[in-house]
Structure 1
Amino acid sequence: MSLSPRIIALLLACLISSLTLTFLTFVEGVTSTMLFVVGVSSFVLSFFLVFYAIELLVFREVNKMYKTIHQLKIRDFTISRKAIIKNTNPFKKLNDEIFVYVAKKQKEIDELKRLEQFRREFLADVSHELKTPIFAAQGFIHTLIDGAVDDENVRDKFLSKAAKSLDGLDALVKDLVALSQLETGEVKMSFGRVDLADITQEIFDQLEDIARSKHTSLTLSKPHPGPVWVKADSQRIVQVMTNLIENAVKYGNELGRVVVTLEEDKKHIIVSIRDNGPGIPPEHLSRIFERFYRVEKSRSKDRGGTGLGLAIVKHILSAHKAKITVMSKVEKGTTFRFKLERMD
C-alpha cells in the first residue's frame, strides 16, 4: 500500500493519542471530559507536527531531488511519459529513477570503452595494412633509383612488383572509402528488379579462371528454370555475391566445390553460398565480419584481399534489411546465408 504524508501523520497521531489516553486512565482524579480534551488535543497536535515533519522536511526535499533527476533524464534520454510509473511515495520514485539513470549511464560508459578499444584496434589495423604495400613499393623503387634501373630484367620485375603493391593500396583505400560511406549512410541504394540467377552466372564466368586454377567447380542450384527475381540494388548485390563466391573459391581446398543455392519462401529468396573447404574455427565465427579481421593472417595475405570484404557485405545487406549468417565446421566447409525480398 502506498502511504501519503497525511495517512502516515493520521496513523501516528492516532497511536500517540491512544497511548496518551491509556496512560491518563491510570491517573486518579481524571474525568472523562479531561480525557476527551487531552485526546483531541494530542491527536490534533501530533497530526500536524508529524505531517509537517514528513511533508516539509522529508517528502518535499526528496521530491525536489526526484524532479532534478527526472529533468536530467529527460534531457539525456528519450523516454515515453507513459513509461514513468506514478507513485505517491517519493522514496520509491527516487530509488527507481536513480537505478534507471545509473544503469543507463553504465551502459553508455561500457559502450564508450568498447568504441575506444575498437578505435585503437582499427587505427592499428589501418596503419599495418597501409604500411605493407607502401613499404614494399618504396623498397622496389629505391632499389631501382640506386642503380638497378640499368638492368632491364630487374627493372621490369621491380616495376611490376611496385605496381602490384600500389594496386593493393588503391584497392584498400577504395574499400575503406566504400565502407565509410556505407556506415554513414552516404551511399543510397537504388532498388529495382534484379535477376539473382543471371547475376550469379555472370560471376561464375568472371571467376572461371580462378576456379580452374584451383580445380574448383561452381554450381548454381535454383528452384525452377529461368530468372529468380529479387528486390535489390543491382550493383551492390553483385558486390556481395562476388565477394562471397570469390572467398569460397580462394579459401577453399584444391579440387573443391562451391554451390550457390537459391531457395524460395512466401516472401523471400534465401541465398546460400556453400563450400567444402577447411572451414572456420568456432572462436573466429563471431568476428569474421569485423574490419581487417582475418582467420589466418599469413594465408589471407598470400591470397590477396583487403580484409574489408565481409564488413562491406554486412553493411550492404543491412541496407537491404537483410541479415547475413555463417555456419561452419572445421574440415567440413562453410555456408553463408541471407534473404532478399522476392519480386514476381
Structure 2
Amino acid sequence: MSSARPSKPVSLGEIRRAASFRTALLFLALYGVIGALLFGFLYQQISSYALGRMDEWLARERNAFLRSAPSELVERVNYHARLDPDNARPFGLYGADGSPLAGAFPGPRPPASVDGRAYTLPVQQGASRRELRVAAYPLPDGRLLVLSQDLYEAHEFNEVLLRALASAALLAVLLGLAGAAWIGRRAVHRLDAITGAIQSIVLGDLSQRLPQRPLQDGGDDLDRLVTVVNGMLDEIERLMHEVKGACDNIAHDLRTPLSRLLAGLERAQRRAANTDEFRLAVEAAIAETLSLLATFNAMLRISEVEAGARRAGFSDVDLAAIVDDAVEFYEPSAEDKHITLTYQRPAGWQFALRGDASLLFEALGNLIDNAIKFTPEHGQINVALVRQPDLVGVEIHDSGPGIPPAEREAVFQRFHRSESSRHTPGNGLGLSLVVAVAHLHGVQVRILEQGPGCHIGFYLPA
C-alpha cells in the first residue's frame, strides 16, 4: 500500500510543464477563438438590428409625412423641429434649387436615398462632428423630404455592448487560466505522488503501489493506467517472491541429494575394494544425478510454459478426449496399487478449447498421478467431467489424506511439500506445472471443500 506523503508547494514552472496545464491552455485558446468569433457575430447582429429598427422608424415617419397634403409639409416639418429641441432627430424640407424650406436639418441639402434606403451621413456642425442616419425622399414637385436620426445613442449602445463583451471575454480568460492552473497543480500533485511511489519501488520496496482513485468513484484515464500498473506490480512482486522462494527451496531440496551424491562418491573412494563396489557407487551416483536432472528439467519446462512459448502452436482440442487418454494411461498404475479408479463421462460430451494437447495431458496426468501417489492401497479415485452454468471442466477426488486448509495456497508453489509427503518420491514441482499450464490456457485450478481426501477441479469458462 502506498504511504501518505506530505504535499509540497507547487512552483509556477512545474505547473507550466504539466501536460494537463498545456492541454487546458490549448483548449482555452481554442475556445477563445470560438468566443471571439461568437462575440463578433453577436456584435454585428445586434448593431445591425439597432440600425434596422432605426430604418424602420424612418420608413414609418416617411409614410406618415407623405400622407399629408403637399401644402402641409412645411408646417409638419417645423412642428417636428419644435418637438425636438435637442435636434436628435433632425428633419428638413428642401426646395428644388436646394434651398432649405423647413426644419432644422444641419448642413446643405443631402443626396437623395437610393431606392428609398437610409444611409449614414457624417455632418460637421460647428466644432463638432456627428453622424446621422438619413433617409431623403424626392417629392413629385421637385422638393426633397429629409428624415434623420442621430447615431449617438446607437454608438453609445455599441460601446456599452463592446465593453460588456470584452469584460466577459476577459473574465472567461481569467477563469480559464485559473482553471488551467488548478488542473495543472492537481495533476502535478498526482504525478508527484506517483513519482514518489515509483522511486520507492525502484529502491526496492516492492510493496509500494501507485496511488489511485477507485474507478467507480470517478477515476479517469490515469487511474485506469495506474490500475493496470498496480496489477503489473502485484504480478512482479509475486514472481519475485516465487523466485526467492524457488532459490531457497532449490538450495534446501538439492542440498540433500547433492550431499548424498558427494558422500557416496567419497565413501566409494575410501572403501571400495573391487570393481563391483565401484560399479554400485557409480550407479547410485548416476541415480542421484538423474534425479537432479529431472528436477532441473521440470523447472525449465515450467519456465517455458509460463513464458507462453507454446501458445503459438495452439489448435482446437477436446478436453474430454484428453481426459479419456489420461485416465486410460494411469489405470494400470492404479491397479498396481489396488486403487479403484472410476471415470464419470456422460456420453457425447465435448469441451472444445484452443490449446496444446500434450501440455493439457501432462497437467491432467500430474493431477491423476498425485491422486494415485497419495491414496493408500484399496482406496478410491473418482475422475468426473462436470458442466455447470458458468464453467465446465474436470474434477478429481481421492480418498487420501487431503491437503490441510493452511497449505492449500502453498501447494501450488515450486518445491513446496507438506509434511505428509516428505517421504514420498517427487520434487514438489508437479502442481506448479499444472498451474502454469492452466494459466497458459485460461483455466482455473481449485482445491474444493467437498468431503474427505483431496478434491481438485480443473475448470474453464463455459
Which residue of structure 1 aligns with residue 274 of structure 2? 150
1:327 and 2:454 aligned = no
1:27-75, CA deviations, whole angstroms, 9 ceiling, x for partnerless residues? Answer: xxxxxxxxxxxxxxxxxxxxxxxx9xx98xx988765532324556899
Please list every run of 5 or more consecutive structure 2 residues that lacks an aligned counterpart in the other structure: 1-170, 199-209
Which residue of structure 1 aligns with residue 431 of structure 2? 310
Amino acid at match of 1:282: P
Q: Higher Cα Rg: structure 1 or 2?
A: 2
Amino acid at match of 2:407: H
CA distance in structure 2 between the partners assigned to 1:317 and 1:102 by the alignment: 27
Which residue of structure 1 aligns with residue 250 of structure 2? 126
CA distance in structure 2 between the partners assigned to 1:228 and 1:244 by the alignment: 20
Aligned partner of 2:187 among 58, 67, 82: 67
TM-score in terms of structure 1 length: 0.64
Higher relative contact order (CA 8 A, sep 6+): 1
Which segment drifts farther, 182-191 or 122-131?
182-191
TM-score in terms of structure 2 length: 0.49
**Correspondences of 1:157-236 after superposition (within 5 Å):** 157-188=280-311, 189-194=313-318, 195-205=321-331, 208-209=332-333, 211-224=334-347, 228=350, 230-231=352-353, 232-236=355-359
How far does residue 133 in structure 1 lie from its aligned partner after superposition?
2.2
Q: How much identity, in percent, do the aligned residues show?
A: 24
Which residue of structure 2 aligns with residue 41 of structure 1? none
1:192-244, CA deviations, whole angstroms, 9 ceiling, x for partnerless residues? Answer: 33413431233224xx24x34432122211112x7855334210111111100
Aligned partner of 2:369 among 246, 258, 262: 246
CA distance in structure 2 between the partners assigned to 1:131 and 1:144 by the alignment: 20
Contact 1:73–1:101 at 8 Å: present in 2 too?
Answer: no
Q: 3-state SS of the aligned residue for 1:215? A: coil
CA distance in structure 2 between the partners assigned to 1:73 and 1:104 by the alignment: 17
- Residues paired across the two proteins, number: 274
CA distance in structure 2 between the partners assigned to 1:304 and 1:151 by the alignment: 30
Amino acid at match of 1:333: G
Which segment drifts farther, 143-152 or 162-171?
143-152
Please list every run of 5 or more consecutive structure 1 residues that lacks an aligned counterpart in the other structure: 1-50, 86-92
Which segment drifts farther, 226-235 or 117-126?
226-235
Which residue of structure 1 aligns with residue 379 of structure 2? 256
Root-mean-square deviation (CA), in Å? 4.5
Greater percentage in helix: 1
Which residue of structure 2 aligns with residue 338 of structure 1? 458
Q: 1:265 to 1:73 in 2, by over 3 A?
A: same
Contact 1:196–1:228 at 8 Å: present in 2 too?
Answer: no
Contact 2:323–2:361 at 8 Å: present in 1 too?
Answer: no
Q: 3-state SS of the aligned residue for 2:330? A: helix
How far does residue 105 in structure 1 lie from its aligned partner after superposition?
9.8
Contact 2:384–2:396 at 8 Å: present in 1 too?
Answer: yes
**Correspondences of 1:75-114 after superposition (within 5 Å):** none
Which residue of structure 1 aligns with residue 119 of structure 2? none
Contact 1:279–1:328 at 8 Å: present in 2 too?
Answer: no
1:100-124, CA deviations, whole angstroms, 9 ceiling, x for partnerless residues? Answer: 9999999998877666544432211
Amino acid at match of 1:335: H
Q: 3-state SS of the aligned residue for 1:146? A: helix
1:233-278, CA deviations, whole angstroms, 9 ceiling, x for partnerless residues? Answer: 2101111111001100111122111111113457964201110111
Q: 1:145 to 1:341 in 2, by over 3 A?
A: same
Q: 1:102 to 1:69 in 2, by over 3 A?
A: farther
